[in-house]
């Protein structure tokens, strides 16, 4: 009797687990199908145009000296990775861009060279030039920005940049 009861429990458990696995497999197949549909509907040119628009707003905010506006371009978990410095998380970005502006930066010119990715994340590579008073070049270099689609808007997830100019002596 005890063996029969144990057998029924074992068969019941196997049945429940097999039902659960088929639901999970069905959900995984559905998720995979939805991802493929999203990728088919994803328009990289449209995404590139959105990034260009965001970069235009960003450079306009540099001209205005608006560190709050600059920080607003970052995702909720966004981070800047400036050269010779620690990573700067969301809460420190206003201060980072404020110090950038106080250094005398009046203009930032960005030249996007490449954008690749999906409807969830994009990677942008490019070059930058920084100008101060009287259009004096302060720095030029290269950057990589990872953009994250956050609530339907492209936001900066990671931002790393470094100079291409020789070290001053």
pTM over 0.85: no
pLDDT of res. 8: 42
Task: Write the pLDDT tens digit of every residue in 48-92.
Answer: 999 999 999 999 999 999 999 999 999 999 999 999 999 999 999
Q: Are strands 88-89 and 107-117 parallel, antiparallel or unpaired?
A: unpaired
Q: Are strands 88-89 and 153-163 parallel, antiparallel or unpaired?
A: unpaired
CATH of 43-163, picked from 3.30.1330.10, 1.20.140.10, 3.10.450.50, 3.40.50.11400, is: 3.10.450.50
pLDDT of res. 22: 45
pLDDT of res. 15: 40
pLDDT of res. 5: 39
pLDDT of res. 167: 84
Decide if 80 contacts 88 (C-beta within 8 A): yes
Q: Is the pLDDT of residue 17 over 60?
A: no
Query: Which residues contact residue 112 at a Cβ distance below 8 angstroms, ignoring those fewer than 6 apart?
Result: 48, 51, 52, 55, 124, 125, 126
Task: Write the pLDDT tens digit of every residue in 112-128.
Answer: 999 999 999 999 999 99
Q: Percent of the chain at pLDDT above 90? A: 73
């Amino acid at each position: 009797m005890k063996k029969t009861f144990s057998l029924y429990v074992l068969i019941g458990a196997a049945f429940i687990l097999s039902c659960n696995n088929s639901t999970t497999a069905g959900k995984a197949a559905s998720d995979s199908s939805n991802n493929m549909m999203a990728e088919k509907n994803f328009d990289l040119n449209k995404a590139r145009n959105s990034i260009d628009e965001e970069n235009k707003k960003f450079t306009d905010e540099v001209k205005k000296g608006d560190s709050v506006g600059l920080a607003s371009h970052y995702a909720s978990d966004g981070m800047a990775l400036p050269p010779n410095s620690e990573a700067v998380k969301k809460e420190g970005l206003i201060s980072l861009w404020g110090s950038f502006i106080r250094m005398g930066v009046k203009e930032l010119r960005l030249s996007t060279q490449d954008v690749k990715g999906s409807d969830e994340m994009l990677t942008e590579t490019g070059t930058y030039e920084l100008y101060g008073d009287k259009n004096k070049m302060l720095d030029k270099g290269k950057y990589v920005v990872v953009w994250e689609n956050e609530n339907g808007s492209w936001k900066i997830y990671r931002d790393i940049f470094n100079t291409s100019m020789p070290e001053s002596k």
